Amino acid sequence: MANETKLINIYRRAAQQLRTTVRRADPRKPIILIRKVIMGDINKIASDLERETKNWLVVEIPQEYKRGSQQAVADASKLGLTLDKTGFGQVHKEAIQALTEDAYLDFAAGIEGVRRAGRGFVSEIVKKKINERIVSGQLEGKALETVKKEVKQLVDDTGFTALVDRGGKHWSIDSYAEMLVRTHVIKANGEGTKNRLLSNQVDLVEISQHNSSCPICQPYEGQVYSLTGKTEGYDKAPELPIHPNCRHTYLPYIED
């Protein structure tokens, strides 16, 4: 499998750095300086994530695509089929490029969410600073500690939200990245398998079985589909992954 842990750990460290950046903000500083310092640090962390993500994707997505292709050859061999396993031509290269670009767009959306969350935190710090100064007339002693405590609690409760999905779930940047890593790895693997099978005129596939308790996956497990949707009597195969973090794969299938 791809080196998933490497990128996941990079995002976990970044999430901690982001929280620390906001917590250590000094509300006594001028508002313009608070914005400059905090957003400067956040933008630096976000830029580092963009670079590390690109570096990871351009290595791991092609490798996972090739693993899927190689697995198709191995699985077909078990059925007595010999697939042409010659090198990756232009079509495969374009497929890999498209997969890499799609994955990066998903990560980029999360990273932009980090920047957006940072701006939100800065606004909250400014509001709390102004409110305390209005109430106490100054931002020292107890008033200062109150603001710092409220900011820390805000970061702990909210975190750096990368995305809010259609169901209203808030994804922190590290949990969102972990989901994306696993989703795009299995997607690249599935595309490698599918394209190798189709290039050898193998259209029927079985969805792998894992005795899954997942209600989304259960209807598909062990079922046979047509990759193109053109083989009579078979429905078109679902795109893999079926859902985020899904581990199902395509297996070549031969009719009796």
Residue-wise pLDDT tens digits, 159-212: 788 887 777 888 899 999 999 999 999 999 999 999 999 999 999 999 998 876
Provide φ and ψ at 202, rounded to 5°: -100, 115
Contact 196, 68 (CB under 8 A): yes
- Which H or E element spans position 184? helix 173-199
The Cα–Cα gap between 76 and 71 comes to 8
Contact 221, 44 (CB under 8 A): no
Helix runs in 3-161, H state only:
4-23, 31-78, 90-136, 141-158
Q: Is 226 helix (H, G, I), strand (E, B) or coil?
A: strand
pLDDT, averaged in runs of 10, over the chain (256 residues) = 86 93 78 87 96 97 94 94 80 93 96 92 73 46 62 72 80 92 94 94 92 81 94 94 86 89
* pTM of the complete model: 0.85
Would you state the pLDDT for residue 215? 87
Pairing state between β 250-252 and 161-164? unpaired
The Cα–Cα gap between 39 and 118 comes to 7
